[in-house]
Chains A and B, each alone.
Chain A
Amino acid sequence: MSVTVKDVEHVAALARLSFSQDEKERLTHELNEILQYMEQLNSLDTSTVEPLSHVIQLQNVFREDEIRPGVSREDALKNAPVHSEKFFKVPKVIGDR
């Protein structure tokens, strides 16, 4: 498996990132180098091994669904780049294209 500039463009679109042509070429080279190293995992037979997603024994924790204080609207808007009195503001999503 080898990563192409086209793959890099596809993954960049998924990750909502954009790169210059130079950056794309460098990333293609770097990702290939890293992924080639990671190919070593294929030498291991793991067909009978269960994936490990959590390292310590945990049980689901339940609690009563009680109302507790949360983040106020004022606080929630405090770090917004652009906001109105009540809402986060973003560029227009629909219409006049």
Chain B
Amino acid sequence: MQTELTFDETQKNILSGATTCEKVLDDYLQKIDSTKQLNAFLSVFHEEAREHARRVDRKIASGTAGKLAGMVVGIKDVLCMKGKKVTCGSRILENFESLYNATVVDALLNEDAILVGKTNMDEFAMGSSTENSAFGPVLNPVDKTRVPGGSSGGSCVAVAAGLSHTALGTDTGGSIRQPASFCGVVGLKPTYGRVSRYGLVALSSSFDQIGPFAHTVRDAATVLGVIAGHDERDSTSAEVPVPDYAQFLSKDVKGVNVGLPVEAFADGLNDEVRSNVEKAIDVLRAAGASIYDIHLPHSRYNISTYYILMTAEASSNLARYDGARYGFREDEARDLASMYTKSRSEGFGAETKRRIMLGTYVLSAGYHEAYYKKAQRVRRLIQNDFVQAFAEVDCILMPTSPTTAFSFGEKAHDPLQMYLSDIYTVSANLAGIPGISIPYGTDTKGLPVGVQLLGKQFDEPTILRVADFLESTLKGQES
């Protein structure tokens, strides 16, 4: 079955003539159709993708194919593809059709990737379990009684279950790395500004970033190389050159200084997660990396700071859904104000409304300074912690999540407990730095554990190098 191969392996088979893009795609489509109960995809482009695969096969034959020729990719349904629905997992956008392609979509198409479908997600990317999708939850393929993590649960499961080589997700507070950890795949959140957000439906504009899920660090690096770079249509995308990420792979880790935040290994970390992460640390130490304890003294304020700022920005971004120009409209409304209120109250799900309420509260007169401005000040202290840490170390290693995948319903009725499950991931978004989660062993139930590496702004090369090395040591054990 082609769907068990990495993209790197598949592309070799395609270029050697052993298979074709069309055959590879057919295997994936078959698998997508036979695993519908996972609910990973909200739409699948059977015919269009086949046509595209045949076109790429012709380009390969004529020697004009792009870097991603043969790659089958899933796209989180928060990214625009012209003429396709973009639901954001919400009833309010159930029938919305995109008018243009997101820049990342164009970038993938320009390199001949085959976009196979749009993936399920927590409504407007708000959630850590994909239980908040208006179109039903996504199941974790490792254990179907457990959540896949969120909010990019569909994209993550598309890769984990072998329904696509890679998939694009978005990470606002951990929505790529946490599901990657729960499902046992690689998930990469680039530096804020590394990838254009044009055509990404906004959740929290100072945090949102697009990144790949993949089976291997190499495949993730390949996708990043294609989607990264400045875009004049997104003024927050950085004018920083994009390196050839592949040159940092298959290297050793001698002399790399790795920091372990003492705070992240304190109480609240599951023992089995801890022991797997410690194995990764031992492997790096044995391979010549220098391991140091470091301090991120303000990390205990991460969740408060993040959820104040994130909900404030979200409440503002989601004000546009009023039923006037697009999206769901409640027909009964007799006047404009009640049309807004009824459309929004009917169209949004419970968690989205909760966060709009929280965000509106912290921005409202009398509370703006106490909550919003206060959180912006603490955000600077949190970023400064990282600046100081990175003066001493090249990258930081810690768990991606304090636990392995939890069960459906376990946290759904306690919002604060759900928010606290993001405790190790939100810091990268608060500081605007890159982070990657790679699978590193399992707990006694067989559930994957994720190890997270964080780097300096725009230093994806170092975290890719160390992650790739750790991945290679695991493969050595298996064979």
Contact = CB atoms under 8 A, between A and B. Distances in A.
A14 B206 CA distance: 23
Contacts of B206: 53-55
B305 A37 contact: no
A41 B301 contact: yes
B18 interface: no
A34 B364 contact: no
Contacts of A3: 361
A44 B341 CA distance: 38
B416 interface: yes
A37 B416 contact: yes
A14 B318 CA distance: 13
Contact of B97 (A19, A40, A49, A79): A79
A11 B361 contact: yes
B381 A91 contact: no
A91 B335 contact: yes
Interface in A16-53: 16-19, 27, 30-31, 33-35, 37-38, 40-42, 44, 46, 49-53
Contact of B376 (A8, A42, A51, A90): A51
B443 to A, nearest CB: 28
B58 interface: no
Contacts, number: 155
Interface string B328-346: 1100011111011110110
Interface in B78-122: 95-97, 99
Given A15-B315, A17-B344, A81-B328, A44 B381 contact: yes
B327 interface: yes
Contact of B305 (A30, A33, A41, A61): A41
Given A15-B356, A40-B300, A71-B99, A93 B336 contact: yes
A67 interface: no
B97 A78 contact: yes
Interface stretch (B36-44, B154-162, B220-228, B232-240): B232-240
A11 B357 CA distance: 6
Contact of A34 (B99, B307, B353, B379): B307
B238 A61 contact: no
B360 interface: yes
B326 A56 contact: no
A40 B304 contact: yes
Contact of A31 (B99, B326, B357): B357
A54 B353 CA distance: 26
A89 to B, nearest CB: 9
B375 interface: yes
A75 B100 CA distance: 10
Contacts of B232: 61, 63
A56 B459 CA distance: 13
A15 B339 contact: no
A5 interface: no
Interface string A76-90: 101111100000101
B144 to A, nearest CB: 29
Nearest to B329: A81
A50 B377 contact: yes
B345 A56 contact: no
B308 interface: yes
Contact of B345 (A19, A82, A91, A93): A19
Contacts of A61: 232, 235
A42 B371 CA distance: 9
B375 A41 contact: yes
9 contacts: A15-B319, A15-B357, A17-B353, A18-B341, A40-B304, A44-B378, A56-B457, A78-B97, A88-B325
**Closest CB pairs A-B (n = 8):** A55-B432, A51-B376, A81-B329, A79-B326, A52-B380, A46-B377, A38-B304, A49-B377
